[in-house]
Amino acid sequence: MRILIDECVDPRISLLFGDHQISTVHAQSWDTLEDRALLTLAQNDFDVLLTLDGSLEFQQNLSKFAIGVVVVHVPRNQLSHYRVLHKELIQAIENASAGKVIHVRTPPAPTPAS
């Protein structure tokens, strides 16, 4: 899988994806692009965009793009918070398909018994 990591995501997340081909928006020199332009370019070289931008699917018609999107919901943009979701992230990346969005969320903390 060819994964593009959005500029809003801690780039160290690439450590979690082993054999997948990983790049960042910054490494591609695409960090100044608006979402539509980014998706247009990314769809040519990547299978999945990994982002924190939960509003992307409401601002863009993703069905028009040949790239899947995985939106990660973490309490903090730090590698330790992504590690907790490692299995879910791998599964989302592998199940991603063009024009579709998969959300990966940190499970809620258990509620203490009263």
3-state SS assignment for residue 20: coil
Band (pLDDT 50/70/90 cuts) for residue 113 is low
pLDDT tens-digit readout, 31-67:
999 999 999 999 999 999 999 999 999 999 999 999 9
Distances (CA, A) of 86 to 1, 4, 114: 16, 17, 32
Side by side, which strands form the sheet with 101-105?
21-24, 2-5, 48-51, 68-73, 101-105
Whole-number average pLDDT of the chain: 92
- As given in the structure block, the two tokens for residue 86 are 């490692």
pLDDT tens-digit readout, 18-30:
889 999 999 999 9
pTM (global) more than 0.75: yes
